[in-house]
């Protein structure tokens, strides 16, 4: 579905609630990236990234909360990025991507503050480097070497290494965790 389409997001949430009888967990995990010098980026390209990576997360949160708040429980998990904590411009200048992921972290904190007392927890996961459609499956040897050199654990993540963080935030094991961004990055943000 197009996460930028508010009606499609609403319909998806409604379908899930109808199928399962309620909505307990929402994961907002769509994203696109820009790359290049900010001075050459068009406003239209910048806004396209913000719309997909941040505005659509807001829509997903709002639509999930519409069903969760009346029931007094739910867990919303937004996917941010280590880019939300700082620039990657030594190799990947991405003004819109960094701005959008920083925005996801801020939005997560704000919505958590608004909804926690009503039983809806909002948290985020900030992955480091993982093979995805967005990172090109980390097939470029130069890119892999760059990640290995800058990550204290010495490698990119494996997709299954995000599972524990996701299950933790979705479950009652994190019942007292609110507004946090759980960084899963092999130590990337330590430098």
92 has catalytic annotation: no
Residue with tokens 């708040």: 69
Q: Which of 97, 115, 129, 130 is catalytic?
A: 97
Angle at 152 between CA 148 and CA 158, to 5 degrees: 60
Dump the DSSP string for 102-165.
HHHHHHHHHHHHHHGGGTEEEEEEEE-S--STTTGGG--HHHHHHHHHHSTTSSPPPGGGGHHH
Kind of pairing between the strands at 74-79 and 181-184 = unpaired
What residues act catalytically? 97
């Amino acid at each position: 579905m197009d996460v930028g389409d508010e009606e499609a997001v609403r319909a998806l949430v409604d379908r899930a609630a109808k199928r399962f009888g309620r909505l307990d967990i929402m994961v907002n995990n769509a994203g696109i990236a820009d790359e290049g010098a900010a001075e050459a980026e068009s406003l239209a390209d910048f806004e396209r990234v913000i719309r997909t990576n941040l505005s659509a997360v807001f829509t997903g949160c709002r639509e999930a909360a519409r069903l969760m708040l009346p029931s007094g429980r739910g867990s919303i998990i937004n996917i941010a990025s280590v880019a939300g904590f700082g620039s990657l411009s030594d190799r990947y200048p991405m003004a819109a991507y960094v701005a959008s992921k920083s925005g996801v972290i801020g939005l997560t904190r704000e919505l958590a503050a608004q909804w926690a007392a009503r039983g809806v927890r909002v948290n985020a996961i900030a992955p480091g480097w993982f093979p995805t459609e967005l990172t090109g499956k980390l097939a470029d040897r130069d890119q892999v070497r760059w990640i290995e050199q800058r990550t204290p654990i010495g490698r990119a993540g494996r997709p299954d290494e995000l599972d524990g963080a996701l299950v933790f935030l979705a479950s009652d094991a994190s019942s007292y965790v609110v507004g946090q961004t759980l960084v899963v990055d092999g130590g990337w943000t330590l430098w």
